[in-house]
Amino acid sequence: MCSVTHAVSAPAPVGWSPRTAIAMRFPEIVELARSTHHEIRAIEAEFDLREAGGGDTSCPRQILRELRWRLEYTADTDGIRATLARLRTRAALSLARSVVPHDAAASHDDEGADGACTDVWFLKLDARVDHMLAADFDEQGKPPRFLDRVNDPGRLKDYLESLLVSRLDEDGIDRRKELNFATRRPR
């Protein structure tokens, strides 16, 4: 006979916010967000100008997206600082180059995922999913291996169930963004 145990969770209290909970438990996150806000906005505005001129800012945009996720949904100060340093480096490289068209092959990582500029799995998935679901998708004989972690009903179920409850006190991660990205419908 097989026994199944289900986890039970209570709804959050009225007015509770994971961002507030992270800020209260990890005040350094608030300071990091405040101190980087203007720099991030300036970099973003520069990317807008570069893109309007035909430049490719896809890699630093991926890093910027990761940084925003880390600042808004995690308490990982080391990860935030490392991502900010990568953004500064990539933004400087991108801005120093002349207009360069997008190179699709260069944006893939070793596992066939778009998002070679981030190590955050669900951000790689989000960067790749629309392309993979397009009618003209051609994997060129190399299926993307980054999906192996969920390419089995059991693994997919385990992954999605791991996102249903955030455990801010345990790991400092609000999992709502990842759940949203992992289950969203293609654009």
**pLDDT tens digits, 106-120:** 455 555 555 578 889
- Residue 114 pairs in a beta bridge with 108
pLDDT tens-digit profile of 11-37? 777 887 888 888 888 899 999 999 999
Q: Kindly write down the DSSP assignment for every residue of 89-101, as one continuous string.
A: HHHHHHHHS----
Residue 3 placed within a domain: no
Structure tokens given for 106: 């260069």
Residue 4 placed within a domain: no
Domain count, the chain: 1
Residue 26 placed within a domain: yes
pTM of the model as a whole: 0.80
Residue 146 placed within a domain: yes
Residue 46 C-beta-side C-alpha neighbours within 13 Å? 18
C-alpha to C-alpha distances, 182 to 18, 53, 106, 130, nearest whole angstrom:
19, 32, 24, 12
Residue 8 placed within a domain: no
Structure tokens given for 41: 């906005």
Residue 7 placed within a domain: no
One-letter amino acid at 155 equals: R
pLDDT tens-digit profile of 47-74? 999 999 998 888 899 999 999 999 999 9
Residue 13 placed within a domain: no
Parent domain of 173: 18-183
pLDDT of 112 reads 52
pLDDT of 102 reads 47
Residue 138: DSSP 8-state = -
Of 71, 86, 69, nearest to 36 by C-alpha is 71
Residue 82 placed within a domain: yes
153: helix, coil or strand? Answer: helix
Averaged pLDDT score across all residues of the chain: 82
pLDDT tens-digit profile of 82-98? 999 999 998 887 666 64
